[in-house]
């Protein structure tokens, strides 16, 4: 590799691929919009809505088409997962789970598109930087997990009432039989509760982000194997088949990861929401 591109070119290539299409909207590094993440997330949402709406409009109770069968499979799969975990009644939780699962999967699936295709096409059209996987951007995953976090609090208040909700902060998980013990245990309970609540959105966001980021980086590294290669060099004929095999193996493994991560994001959302709705 070093003979072809040299470490400087390779580092530049990687850095270029890890650079978002940014639009500053205010002072400093904080007020920057990642246009590429926003665009591709909206695109995925549009694809998801279009697919499901189309099937829902044309759904027949007779012999369903292959596409309808596929969509029904997904819906039933999510429905069973929700029913197994969440025992209350809620009109929100199953559609939410379905949306999270499909949207996360679609966004993760953009990782399967060869790393150079869309950025190169966009580069030819005059866009300098482009990262197409929205879930490999911490902003997207954190936005999703913060939404889930707010829903957890809302569910807690709605299903238990505000009194029990606040009371539980001070009385669970350590219970005491008398008033003095309750007062003594209240700070510890509150501290544990705050840590528990704060850890959830962060771990949820970092898990998805870390997996997708690592996956994307490994794809980029595989792409680097023939970076700056020429037909006159003997090494190219060794690296090119190797690159093909490595890309194939990692893609096959990554299909498992993207599905699993979408599933886990959905599952944990359901688990957290049902925990919030249950009485201690």
Partner 1 sequence: MENITQIADVMSFTVIAAGLLIGLGALGTAIGFALLGGKFLEGSARQPELTGMLQTKMFIVAGLLDAIPIIGVAIALLLIFANPFIGQLGG
Nearest CB to partner 1, comparing residues 142 and 267: 267
What whole-number distance in Å separates Cα of residue 222 and Cα of residue 122?
A: 21
- Per CB under 8 A, 246 contacts partner 1: no
Stretch of 61-69, 104-112, 176-184, 254-262 contacting partner 1, by CB under 8 A: 254-262
Q: Where are the alpha helices (DSSP H) in 125-178?
A: 138-171
Catalytic residue (one of 81, 108, 145, 211): 211
CA dist 178 → 39, 183, 193, 198 (Å): 57, 9, 21, 29
Identify which of 202, 203, 176 has the alpha carbon closest to the alpha carbon of residue 188: 176
Catalytic residue (one of 200, 203, 230, 274): 203
| Site residues (CB under 8 A) for partner 1, limited to 207-226 | 207, 210-211, 213-214, 217-218, 221
Question: 37, 104, 140, 261: which one contacts partner 1 (CB under 8 A)?
Answer: 261
| Site residues (CB under 8 A) for partner 1, limited to 58-117 | 81, 84
CA dist 255 → 22, 41, 46, 262 (Å): 29, 19, 22, 11
Question: 1, 18, 94, 172: which one contacts partner 1 (CB under 8 A)?
Answer: 18
Q: What is the DSSP string of 229-267?
A: --TT-HHHHHHHHHHHHHHHHHHHHHHHHHHHHHHHHHH
Kindly state the smallest distance separating residue 214's Cβ from partner 1, in Å: 4
Kindly state the smallest distance separating residue 188's Cβ from partner 1, in Å: 26
108 counts as catalytic: no
- Per CB under 8 A, 267 contacts partner 1: yes
Are 97 and 82 within 8 A, CB to CB? yes
Residues lying near partner 1 in the complex (CB under 8 A) are found at 10-11, 14-15, 18, 81, 84, 203, 206-207, 210-211, 213-214, 217-218, 221, 257, 260-261, 263-264, 267-268
């Amino acid at each position: 590799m070093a003979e072809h591109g040299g470490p400087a070119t390779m580092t530049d290539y990687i850095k270029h691929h890890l650079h978002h299409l940014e639009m500053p909207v205010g002072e400093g590094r904080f007020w920057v919009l990642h246009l590429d993440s926003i665009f591709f997330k909206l695109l995925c949402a549009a694809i998801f809505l279009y697919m499901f709406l189309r099937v829902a409009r044309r759904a027949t109770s007779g012999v369903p088409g292959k596409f309808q069968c596929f969509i029904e499979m997904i819906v039933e799969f999510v429905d069973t997962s929700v029913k197994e975990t969440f025992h209350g009644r809620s009109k929100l939780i199953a559609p939410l789970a379905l949306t999270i699962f499909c949207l996360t999967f679609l966004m993760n699936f953009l990782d399967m598109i060869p790393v150079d295709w869309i950025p190169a096409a966009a580069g030819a059209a005059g866009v300098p930087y482009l990262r197409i996987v929205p879930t490999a951007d911490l902003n997207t995953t954190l936005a999703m997990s913060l939404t889930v976090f707010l829903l957890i609090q809302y569910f807690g208040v709605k299903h238990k009432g505000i009194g029990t909700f606040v009371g539980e902060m001070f009385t669970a998980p350590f219970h005491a039989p008398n008033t003095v013990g309750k007062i003594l245990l209240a700070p510890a309970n509150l501290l544990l509760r705050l840590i528990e609540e704060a850890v959830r959105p962060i771990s949820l966001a970092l898990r998805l982000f870390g997996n997708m980021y690592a996956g994307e980086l490994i794809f980029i590294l595989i792409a680097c194997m023939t970076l700056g290669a020429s037909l006159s060099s003997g090494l190219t004929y060794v690296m090119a088949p190797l690159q093909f095999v490595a890309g194939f193996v990692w893609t096959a493994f990554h299909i498992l990861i993207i599905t699993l991560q979408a599933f886990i994001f959905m599952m944990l959302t359901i688990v957290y929401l049902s925990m919030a709705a249950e009485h201690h």
